[in-house]
Amino acid sequence: MAMEVHRNGSFSTTSLQGFVLLGFRGGKETQTLLFAVFLVLYMVAVLGNLTMIVVITLDARLHSPMYFFLKNLSFVDLCLSTVIVPNALANIFSSKTISFAGCATQFFFFSVLATTEALLLAVMAYDRFMAICSPLRYPVTMCPMTCVRLVLGTFCGGCLNSIVQTSLTFQLPFCSSNSIDYFFCDMRPLLQLACASTALNELVMFGICGFIVVCAVFVVIISYVYITVTILRMRSGSGRHKLFSTCGSHMTAVSLFYGTGFAVYGQPGGVASMEQGKVVSIIYTLIIPMLNPLIYSLRNKDVKDALRRLGQRHSLVKESG
């Protein structure tokens, strides 16, 4: 619903059919360049994450808790970029409109996936802590059923947060302007269109997102403090290097995602301007989903070996056929 202001200062309610996503400013050349860059980055993200999912699924040597979580991370990244980027690409050269229901749906799934990824990264840190610091208990503690429950827990946490955020946001009365100065339906640009007070929405967003980030970062920091101490006590230099390489990949992904997420949602007022918010949003909706498969594959010997074996198997099948 939207609120319309009459000359006497009263309000009347009118039906809001949809929103206009203004996206990025610039002429035709700028828009064409943005389209090309977004398309290339999205294709790399899709290819990279699909490759990780296929390789981990097909290679029996990667059927361990760490790679189970990594496969789910690739799935979440693939879905996260797909919820945002195709619509953003279509809007660059089209009418830029999105229906009210479409905007709410995009907002809901974006919130689910972003929250799930934040929680999943913390679960992955806990998995590394158990594997390195308690290797004898690890097979029992991180059994397949426990891993499934942990992943389901991250999705349930994402759904719960999204239900709260979506219901609070889309029950607001929106003013006569339906132009969203953003490239997808996100909370802060939507709140700017509201006629009613958004203090509760801001408080809930800051409280929930801040709580999720603080708890996740706490789990990550504690896990890696113990991991670092354990690795430094190891006598084998090659063993230390392998573990630091694996943990370094995860810490890179954690730093990128938590850093950008906290910059937009975890502090009062968020980023300084909407244009800065758009740039930061590109990082966690497109850049991070593209980088995660590269980070984990290029710095992980097991994944590179699995890719090599998969390539050899494909070559043998082609030759025999």
Residue 240: per-residue pLDDT = 64
Residues 6+ positions from 308 with CB-CB distance below 8 Å: none
- Give the per-residue pLDDT at 270: 53
E strand or H helix at 18: strand 18-21
Q: How confident is the model at residue 231, as a pLDDT? A: 81
Specify the pLDDT at position 82: 95
Q: Give the predicted TM-score (pTM) of the model.
A: 0.86
- Residue 111 is predicted with a pLDDT of 94
Give the whole-angstrom CA distance, residue 103 versus residue 134: 46
Pick out the chain residues at pLDDT < 50: 1-15
How far from each other are the two terminal CA atoms of the chain, in whole angstroms?
Answer: 60
Pair 227, 240: CB distance under 8 Å = no
Specify whether the CB–CB gap between 168 and 201 falls below 8 A.
yes
Could you please state the CATH topology (level 3) that the domain comprising 20-316 is classified under. Rhopdopsin 7-helix transmembrane proteins (1.20.1070)
Of the candidates 173, 181, 178, 121, the one whose C-alpha atom is nearest the C-alpha of residue 151 is 121
Environment class of residue 17 by beta-carbon count within 10 Å: exposed (0-12), middle (13-18) or buried (19+)?
exposed
Structure tokens at 111: 């919130």
Q: Which two tokens stand for residue 262?
A: 């906290």
